[in-house]
Every structure is written in C-alpha cells, then in structure tokens.
Amino acid sequence: MRIAPSRSRILRGGTAAVAAAALVALGAVPALAADPEPDLGVGTIAPVKGVQPGSSFSTPLTFLNKGTAEVPEAWVTYAVSPGLEADETHKNCTYDTIGSYDEMPASNVASCKIDQPLKPGVVYRTAKPVSLKALDSAFRDNLRVSIGVHEPGPDDGGSTEPVPGTGDPLTLVEEGPATDADRTNHPEAYARADVTAANTADFALTGDEKQGKVGEKVTATVKFANKGPARVQGLPDESVTTVDIHIPEGTSVVKPHDFCEVITKTHYRCGTSQSWVNVNGGESYPFVLRIDKAVGRTTGEVSFTGQERPFDRNAENDTAQIVIDTGEDEGTAGSSGSSGSSGSNGSTGGTGGSSSTGGSGSTGSTGSTGGTAGTSGGSADTGGATAGGATPQTGGNLAATGSDSTAPLIGMAAAAVAAGGGILWAVRRRSAAQDG
C-alpha cells in the first residue's frame, strides 16, 4: 500500500524541476575550471544480526583516499536509526538527533572531524571499532557512514542542539596501500548496513461501537497501535501494515478516512502515514457512516492484511469489530418497515424510505424517486471514498513521491551536464516539518 503523497514531496519535486530547468538554461554556458573534489570511499559494512535489546556492539570502519592528492583533513559522519545510539562518545565528534521528515525516519547522528592527512591510495581504519548500543525498541535498524572534506551543515529536517563528545578522539590508522580489491570494496563516500535485533512488537486493532436511528450519521473509529516493545521499520516507501475494514450491514459510507481506499462499497483497505511505526504509535481511521436500515445490532469485521508480521506473537488483538446498533429490525418495525421496502431497489432506497412520509400520496413514484436519490447519493459516497483513497496510502507502496515527477528531469539534467561542460547541481531535500 503506497503512502500518501505529502505536501513536502510536492515541494521537493518542484525544487528538482526548477533545478533541472536551470541546468538546461545554463547548458550553453562554459563551465568554470574548478579543483576536483577529493575521491574518498567508505568500506562496505557487514550487516549486524541478532543483537539483544539493551546490549552494545561494535563495528570496524575503513576509508580510502582513491584520488592522487593528499587530503589534509576529513569529516566522518555516522548515523543510526532510532533503535540505536552511540555507546561511547569521542571529543572530536558532536552528537545530535535529526527529526523525521518526508519519508525519512529520525536519526541519531555523530559528526567527527578527522584532523589528520589521508594519503592517496592508502586504506585507513578507525583505531577502535565504533561502539553502538541497541535500545529496548531496537528491531529493524541501520547504520549509515559517510566521509567528506566539508563540515556537515544543518539538516533540512531540523535537529537537536549538537552535544560534544567526551571520550578519546576518533582517529584513523593506516592499514596499507590499497589493492584492487580495496578499491572495489570502497566504491562510494557512503555506506549502509542493516542492524537487526532479536525483538518483538505487538500490533493491535481496536474497533468501535455506535448507536443511531435510520437516516442518522455516526462516526466509527478503528485504531491500529504498536504496543511494542520494538519500533518497526517496514519496507521503504510502503505502509508498515494495512488494515481491512468491512462496513456493518445496513450502513453506508458517507466519508472514509483519507488513508483508506475503496475495495467494494462495504470493504475498505487502510494504510499508514509512514513506512515505520514507533512504540505506542499507530493510526486512527474514523469512518462517517449513514444508517440506511434498521437491522438491529450489526457488525463489520476489522483485520490486518499486507506485510507478514512474524515479530507479532499475540494474535488475540489482530481482529476487531465495528458494531452499530440500528434499533428495531425492519421485520418488526411496522409501517416504517413497509414504507422502506416500498423504496425502489435495495438498501439504497432506505433514505427514500425515510422520506416516504409522503408515501401516503397516491403514487409510489415519489418513493421511487427517493430511492433513486438514495442510489445516486450512494454512488457519490463511493466516488468520494475513491478520491480519498487515491490521495493517501493504499495498496502496497508509498504514494508517488517527487521522484516520479523528476525522473524525466533527471534525463534533462544529464543532457545539460553534457552540454554545459560538467556543471553539477546538488538539490537538498526540502523540509516537510512533518513528524512521523
């Protein structure tokens, strides 16, 4: 199920469009000569598996100056997802937390100034492996490491005030001249590794119960919650889970929740606002329902669907119900039931039935017309649900992001680079000020 497109994604796509247009416009301008950026690489990091929540672990990091000139100093940055944090700090590093924005979860970040030269063609490693701690919420986490020659600036997502470390400085030591294998193993100035902890998370559903009379509207709210102890990161750009909601008999949907798509008139599928869910986080799905028939106490089933959840070992709260008490059954509702049954076709005539107080008129055509209006009203509700479902997340994948609209622009930008003698533009992510 795709996550709903957000305003931030639209802005980010627009920024990319402006940048691409600028590249095309500047394609004919001769590129100014500039010193090439140093060619630095981070070694591939092995995945870390089976970490126990609350325990510490360490991982070695290696770097390579793949260029031909010495680099006088460098900046090493390592960031971890919210289930991890630095186990020890270094006095040449600062530590802060970047909040979530767009489809990016929060990160705990260390930025370290390496005040020593890096010789060309030499492999370096950290003097001591970087030590990290798995928090109680650790489960599907990751470590990202980068190296560069410029001090990292403030992140678009906003961050806490950087705090200096207090331990021994993070330093690099020479391992020796780089081999062909070393160059292959340090392809980019960035590397990423998954860190998985042996943890569980209890996904739970809660239904709702409402009471009303024929013709009235009620709002029933289904809730999804992660009761922990683990924070769960799902597949990139997809809802962390999906929820099937079946509407109780005798009711129709006036307004579904924006994160839900219509499967049938009585079946909706709802996603999540992000591809992760924090401990005690989740979603609420309010549905405005109209009571069309008096069928007594009627229920609709709610259940999880989508991604498998092997981490969820409590099946007792994986289903729930929407319960609507609609009053007397139509079979015992007297003349009210008779006039309802005289509506043109089926339950959609229920509204017409209630309006058939004029049914004492000589013709049933008015009731029939009321039934038709009820039918068209129903189709309008369905249309509204479809439109609402297309905007937020649905199905399996995150809703189209700015990357969809910028794909052709990337080609334009590439052409501009070729024509313009190698002009390179970097477009930073736009902040959405939207906390997942």
**CA 146 to CA 362: how far, in whole Å?**
82
Measured CA distances, 122 to 66, 72, 176, 352, 376 (Å): 8, 14, 6, 82, 74
Alpha helix locations (H) across 80-223?
180-185
Q: What is the identity of the amino acid at 80?
A: V
pLDDT, tens digit (0-9, with 9 covering 90-100), for 246-260: 999 999 999 999 999
Report d(CA 6, CA 271) in Å as an integer. 14
Q: Which of 98, 189, 183 is nearest to 150 (CA)?
A: 189
Which of the two residues, 31 and 154, has the higher pLDDT score? 154
The helix or strand, by DSSP H or E, that contains position 406, with its residue range, turns out to be helix 402-419
| pLDDT (tens digit per residue) in 320-379 | 999 999 986 645 444 333 333 333 333 333 333 333 333 333 333 333 333 333 333 333
Strand partners, 358: none
DSSP 348: G
Nearest-Å Rg of the Cα atoms of the chain is 29
168 — phi, psi (to 5°)? Answer: -55, 150
Q: Which of 313, 155, 341 is nearest to 230 (CA)?
A: 313
Residue 307: per-residue pLDDT = 82
- Quick: pLDDT tens for 396-426: 444 333 334 333 333 433 333 333 333 222 3
Q: Report pTM.
A: 0.68
For residue 154 the two structure tokens come to 């403030």
| Residues present in the chain in total | 436
Rounded to whole angstroms, the Cα distance separating 190 from 62 reads 11
The whole-number pLDDT of residue 236 equals 84
Task: Kindly report the number of other CB atoms within 10 A of residue 95's CB atom.
Answer: 18
Looking at per-residue pLDDT, the higher value among 95 and 156 belongs to 95
- Tens of pLDDT, residue by residue over 198-214, are 999 999 999 999 999 99
Mean pLDDT of the chain: 76
Proportion of the chain above pLDDT 90, given as a percent: 60
**Interval 312-319 mean pLDDT:** 97
Residue type present at position 205: L
Q: What is the share, in percent, of the chain residues with pLDDT greater than 70?
A: 66
Q: Which domains does the chain have, with CATH numbers?
A: 39-199 (2.60.40.10), 201-390 (2.60.40.290)
Q: Which of 231, 217, 194, 380 is nearest to 289 (CA)?
A: 217
Asked if 395 contacts 261 with a C-beta cutoff of 8 angstroms, the reply is yes
Dihedral sign for Cα atoms in the order 19, 20, 25, 28: positive
Residue 242 C-alpha from the chain's centroid: 12
